[in-house]
Structure 1
Amino acid sequence: MLAVRRAGALYRRGRKAVYAYTFARARALLGEAVAVLDSAPEQNAPEVVELRVRVLVTLAYAETEGSSITTGIKRLSEADELLDELPVGPRRTELAGLSVEQRGFLHIRAGNTELGLELLDEAARRLRAGLAEGAGDPYVLASLYLNRSLAQIERSQTNAAIAELDTCIELCEKYELHDIAIKARHNRGYVAHMTGDVPTALRYFAETSRDCQERAPSMLPVVQLDQARALLAGGLVDEAARHLDDALPRLRRQRVGQDAAEAEIARAAAALLHGDAAQARRRARRSERMFTRRGNERWASVAALAALRADTLTALDGDRARPVKIQTKQRNGIHVPRALPATAVRLAEQLRGLLLEDEAALALMLAVRLQIHRGDLAAATELLDQVPKPRVTTPVDHRMLLRLCRAELAVATQDTRGALAEARAGLTELGRARDRMGGLELMCGTAVHGRQLGDMAVRLVLEHQRPDARRLFGWLERTRAQVYRYEPMPDIADPRMAEKATELRLAKRTAQLVRLAGRSAEKLEQQTATLEREVARQGWYASPWGKPRPVATLEAVGPALDGRVLVSFATSDDDLVAVVVAGTGAKMVRLGSAVEAAEWAARLHADLDVLAPDTLPPPIVEVVKTSAARSAGGLDRQLIQPLLPLIGDRDLVIVPTGALYAVPWGSLPSLWGRPIVVAPSATAWLSAATGSAPRGRTVLARGPMLTGLVAEEGPLREIYPEAVALDGDHATVAGVLSALDGAELAHLAAHGEHEPTNALFSRLELADGPLFAYELSRLRQPPRQVVLAACELALNYVRPGDEALGYAGALLASGVRTVIAATSRVGDESAATAMVTYHRSLTAGVAPARALAASIAEDPYRRPFICLGAG
């Protein structure tokens, strides 16, 4: 029959469009199939009835995604009425199972999980029976197991979800059902994300993404949505936001209502982590309206919770510049509306009624914080008692919020010891989550979830009538620069990553040449951005970075200083303080406004950038040097002079904070000629100072486009006559990496560029393209010392938790004991003369920090180098 053949072809194309998430096209094709069947001469013929049932069942899903579940259920009811027209037998059993399976899935998508599971159980029995009798489609049965896994995921039953997915994948492999297999592996990643295994989740999502690009590109936005959720769990907020901003327009074009609305909630979460409550609220309310139109009460409630989080942030942290001091009545200067905690409690009850336990707990915790800040401690205590104990699948940010609620309540009742105990337990728990992460970026990102707990602990110590410097030192070490306390593990070679890195290097070099030729490199830049994301993702699901070392104690640091003094700077709100450690003792000094210090540091950095060019006319040099001296003097008066009675003329180990990472300490007048080591934390310094490192060859590598005697030419060749020298066409990425592995000293003279959006893509330019920071960070035996002689690649990108990560940071984290680098731009000639002086002292047996101090003192404003690590 011609009508059946035409309708059948349309049905197959429509079903393919559904599984490709192109629902508008699916509705058009399936609607046309219905119209063709309406024209069939024999409406009651079994083949016409059977095909109409299949079309209606598939159309139910496509129409639900475009409107509401009511529309889809109506189509399924039409299909069920037709079943009585078919003879009893395997085919009718199979079609009945197909209809029940779709009905169950629609209920799951609408949030009616328990009813959906019951329907899927019934459908599974019918479909298996039909398949056993030789009738039925294994595609439908595999889809059923996939949908059951979604229901189990909604119920947080991870083991059950994995069992359903394994059964689905087994069927897919048996019957070569590639597109469903892609979705099943994707859901395995989602289950890993639920249990906190972010690297495994990202690995599954990356595999799914590659499969989608080859077989089902329209599924990519859904993959991006779940990737973004995992990235948010890992604290990579910017990367998550980019995924969602890319996925949302595609989901809207495909008219995938459910996933588009879920993506809005995830984007609201990213905005919230950035402190943008207005955007978070706007997106959450939009999502709530979308779910309400779809008749999905469960997800509408989740969206309402996202909006409540934004309202809570506005109420509690509306002016983030103000001091945050919890009082027994109300927080200073911030009014918490009476209705807001009541709204949170009502929403918690609604979420609990919908069996959303984690979400209900979150709403209760928001109510707890609001009542604390209103001063109603009795209500806060009562609500806190109702918050259930976290489950295995409870997200790490929810766990940290529970700790914060307990700590804030303790503060409000003057139980400082209890508050600090909660902060300590929370940060320990967060540390266990960090230990599971792969790659530096994820390890750094995790700190965002403990930021409020750490800030509270530091603030409590400082607000004590007699602040204890020893206790403050301990909390600073517990809260900052945790990535540097890991002992790196040997690299596991990843051919795919190496291949992508080579492609990226070639694209970067080609784009550079095109720009130099005066042509547009826009397409090449888009290609490099795509490759950068691919290489970065490889690092996310790599093996764990390393084995964690214990946080350094004052008792361990003091003796290791061996006559030096350690100065650890810290801020709380606008208060800047320094903990000065000498021997086994510690003292705290208040240093005024953190904002003022940051302004001086920014001015000095700008002055030194202007001063960098070698060809600057002498009159301008003098003017800029005068300005630089004024900025350096301002910093000196605020940061160093108050400490002089404690530090005397001794060598220093400085642990900066925030904007102070950009300070070239050797340019401050009180520190001219003084040996100084800069470290991300005392723990990082102790690890570098006491660690082992190779001794042996020296490597001199010179990149292109340098004008001075920065590397192997002239004096440095004389100083190191037996060094491995790589220049010109020999200074390739592969050649330099090979020479660096196992070297004692590496002098890398090459222009570089810092990448603020992804510090591991900061780079040095070599003969055949950029040498990225992440490549150096994976050396099996990193050099003892690396000198970055011609670029500003010191620790100058600071993430939450005072995690300073960049080119130098990646080197320190990978096991390099000492890094010499500049904090601002430096001219080639200035770098050349500074390095000749430095290396001559080094070969005379002078320690790196002392050798660098003598070199900087000759011209402190044009040699903005610092010694990082051990010194």
Structure 2
Amino acid sequence: MPARALDRARESYQRGWAEQAKFRFPSAIRLLKRALVHTERADATAERAELRARIMYTLGLCQGEISGMGVAVEAFDQARREIDTIPSAALRARLHGSVDGNQGLMVMRLGQPDQAVEWFSRYISYAEQEIQLGGHDPSLTQGLVSCLLNRGFAYAAVRKRDPAIADLERVIKIGGEHNLPQYYPFAVHALGNVHKQSGDLAEALRRYEEAERIFRADDQPERLARLQLDQAETMLMIGLSDEAGKHLDEALPMMRTHKFGQEIAEVEMFRASAALLDGELDLARRMAKASMRKLEKRGSTWWMMAALIELWAHAMQAKRVTNTLAQKALTLSGTSRPTTSSTRQGWRNCSRRVSRSAGAG
């Protein structure tokens, strides 16, 4: 029956949403696709269109993690087309805002935080206007806090310290006022990123440790794994490659189990960096190659950084820099733009090691 089909669709959607919240993207995608099939058996109503739109933009977020930008953007565009069929202008505006926020999250996860800021800002502007007009829907406030948090992460990634801190302080303030304590450790994590980007590495590690205690106490291994990626990067920046490796070795199995996508590739890349600095050249090359394949498949330009790490490890194994290796490195370095201090420091450390190895040959 059509009415029952919509109920089944809603049940599958809710289960799929819960799975993506735990970063279990393959199972989330299966449930969300099942939900869409159920909606096709329901009558064409505004309620059906709203549910289909929510399913589609959640599906886009998950597909971005697994299949890359192109597939995800198509899902977001489908959601927008579905939203445009809804008669209520207010509901259309709200759903379009939700699509914008989710597309921003997907874009940020794929390594484009500058574009993510624009998407997050669209939803934040909408939510702030609604609240100023007297909107008291708790989900609206929660959406605002979530988007402020994500924009804070994005600002930190593009080294805009002041707006990042402003967003994150608002997260803590609004979260405290509206009984949303679940956002606090994420804001602390993001503040750690801000301090890392500004060079205050001791404060960054202190913030990360505070967030780590909360995630461990709340038994949130998926959240902890993402945090450990940033902890390890900071440790690499101050030369603690052994400690960084331990954090990454703990995070990687969790990420692989739940198929985190972009983060797996980043963990593998940083693990390759740590192994390279510790002289574990086979591990460095293996991790770098694995990272490079994933990043290139997903259309992320970070694959070039992984390729450079693999080349450095190869050169160190050979104890000399061949013409072929040098040409590959020059080609990659001409197009790759490391965006983090740890990456730049890694290249400097690797360069010194390769120079010594080349001299030994």
In structure 2, the CA distance between the partners of 1:285 and 1:369, relative to structure 1 (3 Å rule), is: same
**1:251: how far off?**
0.5
2:339 is equivalent to residue 336 of structure 1 = no
Q: Say which of 295, 298, 317 aligns to 1:294.
A: 298
* CA pair 153-303 structure 1, distance change in 2 beyond 3 A: farther
User: Corresponding residue for 1:93?
Assistant: 93
Partner of 2:68: 68
Tell me which residue corresponds to 1:185. 188
TM-score (norm 1): 0.38
| Aligned position for 2:339 | 356
Aligned to 1:230: 234
Question: SS at the partner of 1:137?
Answer: helix
Q: Deviation digits for residues 632-677 of structure 1, max 9, x if unmatched? A: xxxxxxxxxxxxxxxxxxxxxxxxxxxxxxxxxxxxxxxxxxxxxx
Paired residues of 1:80 and 1:99 also in contact (CA < 8 A): yes
Q: 2:29 aligns with which of 27, 30, 39?
A: 27
Structure 2 residue aligned with 1:202: 205
Encode CA deviations 1:72-126: one digit per residue, 9 max, x unaligned.
1111111011121112432211111111222222222222333332233233223
Matched, 1:347 2:321: no
Identity rate, percent: 31
1:84 is matched with which residue?
84
Of residues 137, 140, 143 in structure 1, which corresponds to 2:143?
140
Is 2:55 the partner of 1:55? yes
Q: Which residue of 1 aligns with 2:40?
A: 38
Q: CA deviation digits over 1:539-573, x for unaligned, max 9?
A: xxxxxxxxxxxxxxxxxxxxxxxxxxxxxxxxxx9
The answer to whether the Cα contact below 8 Å between 1:93 and 1:130 also exists between their aligned partners in 2 is no
User: What is the number of equivalent residue pairs in this alignment?
Assistant: 353
Counting strand residues as a fraction of each chain, which structure ranks higher?
A: 1
Q: CA deviation at 1:276?
A: 1.5
Q: 8 Å contact 2:232–2:245 — kept in the other structure?
A: yes
Q: Distance in 2 between matches of 1:17 and 1:180?
A: 19
Aligned match for 2:154, one of 148, 151, 156: 151
Q: 1:60 to 1:344 in 2, by over 3 A?
A: same
Question: 2-side partners of 1:30 and 1:115: how far apart?
Answer: 26
Q: Distance in 1 between matches of 2:199 and 2:315?
A: 26
Aligned 1:114-513 pairs, distance under 5 A: 114-133=114-133, 134=135, 137-213=140-216, 214=218, 216-297=220-301, 299-314=302-317, 318=319, 335-352=320-337, 356=339, 359=343
Once residues 238 and 107 of structure 1 are traced to their aligned partners in structure 2, the CA distance between those partners, rounded to angstroms, is 31
Amino acid paired to 2:322: P
d(CA) in 2 for partners of 1:372 and 1:277? 15
**Structure 1 unmatched ranges of 5 or more:** 319-334, 376-572, 574-871
Q: Distance in 1 between matches of 2:192 and 2:88?
A: 41
Q: Distance in 2 between matches of 1:98 and 1:295?
A: 25
Q: Following TM superposition, by how much is the alpha carbon of 1:290 offset from its aligned partner in structure 2, in angstroms?
A: 0.6
The secondary structure found in structure 1 opposite 2:155 is: helix
User: Any residues of structure 2 matched to 1:801-816 within 5 Å, and which?
Assistant: none
Are the structure 2 counterparts of residues 242 and 369 from structure 1 closer, same or farther at C-alpha, using a change threshold of 3 Å? closer
Following superposition, the deviation at residue 361 of structure 1 comes to: 8.4
Q: Is the 8 A contact 2:152 2:163 kept in 1?
A: yes
Give 1:626-641 correspondences, 5 Å limit: none
Alignment deviations for residues 703-741 of structure 1 (CA, whole Å, 9 cap, x no partner) = xxxxxxxxxxxxxxxxxxxxxxxxxxxxxxxxxxxxxxx
How far the C-alpha of 1:185 sits from its partner, in A, is 1.8
CA contact (8 A) 1:94 1:130 kept: no
Q: Deviations over 1:486-544 (max 9, x none)?
A: xxxxxxxxxxxxxxxxxxxxxxxxxxxxxxxxxxxxxxxxxxxxxxxxxxxxxxxxxxx
Q: Given residue 220 of structure 2, which amino acid in structure 1 is its aligned partner?
A: A
Q: Which amino acid aligns with 1:256?
A: F
User: Following TM superposition, by how much is the alpha carbon of 1:288 offset from its aligned partner in structure 2, in angstroms?
Assistant: 0.8
1:180 Cα shift?
3.5
The amino acid that maps onto 1:79 is A
Alignment of 1:554-565 (within 5 A): none
- Asked if 2 retains the 8 angstrom alpha-carbon contact of 1:348 and 1:360, the reply is no
Question: Contact 1:288 / 1:304 at 8 angstroms: preserved in 2?
Answer: yes
How far the C-alpha of 1:253 sits from its partner, in A, is 0.8
Contact 2:215 2:221 in 1 (8 A): yes
Is residue 341–residue 366 contact of structure 1 (8 Å, CA) maintained in 2? no
Q: CA deviation at 1:362?
A: 6.5
- Go from structure 1 to structure 2 and tell me whether the alpha carbon gap of 1:369 and 1:211 turns closer, same or farther (over 3 Å shift): closer
Kindly provide the CA deviation profile for residues 778-832 of structure 1, in whole angstroms up to 9, marking residues without a partner as x.
Answer: xxxxxxxxxxxxxxxxxxxxxxxxxxxxxxxxxxxxxxxxxxxxxxxxxxxxxxx
Q: Which amino acid in the other structure matches residue 159 of structure 1?
A: D
Q: Which amino acid aligns with 1:307?
A: E
The AA in structure 1 aligned to 2:325 is L
User: For the Cα contact (< 8 Å) 2:316–2:354, is it kept in 1?
Assistant: no
One-letter identity of the residue aligned with 2:288: A
Q: Which residue of 2 aligns with 1:545?
A: none
Q: Which amino acid aligns with 1:336?
A: V
Runs (5+) with no aligned partner, structure 2: none
Out of 242-251 and 30-39, give the one that drifted further.
30-39
Contact 2:17 2:58 in 1 (8 A): yes
1:228–1:239 Cα contact (<8 Å) kept = yes
Q: Aligned AA for 1:34? A: L
Conserved 8 A contact 2:101-2:119: yes
- Report what 1:18 is aligned to: 20
For 2:352 and 2:84, how far apart are their aligned partners in 1? 57
The verdict on how the C-alpha distance between 1:77 and 1:233 changes in structure 2, with shifts beyond 3 A counting, is same
Describe the SS at the equivalent of 1:14: helix
| Aligned-partner Cα distance in 2 for 1:187–1:105 | 14
Equivalent-residue separation in structure 2 for 1:240 and 1:356 (angstroms): 19
Structure 1 pair 237–173 and aligned structure 2 pair: CA distance change class (3 A):
same
* Structure 2 partner of 1:592: none
RMSD over aligned CA atoms reads: 3.1
Greater RCO, 1 or 2 (C-alpha within 8 Å, sep 6+): 2
Map of 1:110 onto structure 2: 110
Q: What is the CA-CA distance between 1:3 and the residue it aligns to? A: 4.1
- Judged with a 3 Å threshold, the aligned counterparts in structure 2 of structure 1 residues 340 and 109 are, in CA distance, closer, same or farther, namely same
Structure 1 SS opposite 2:91: helix
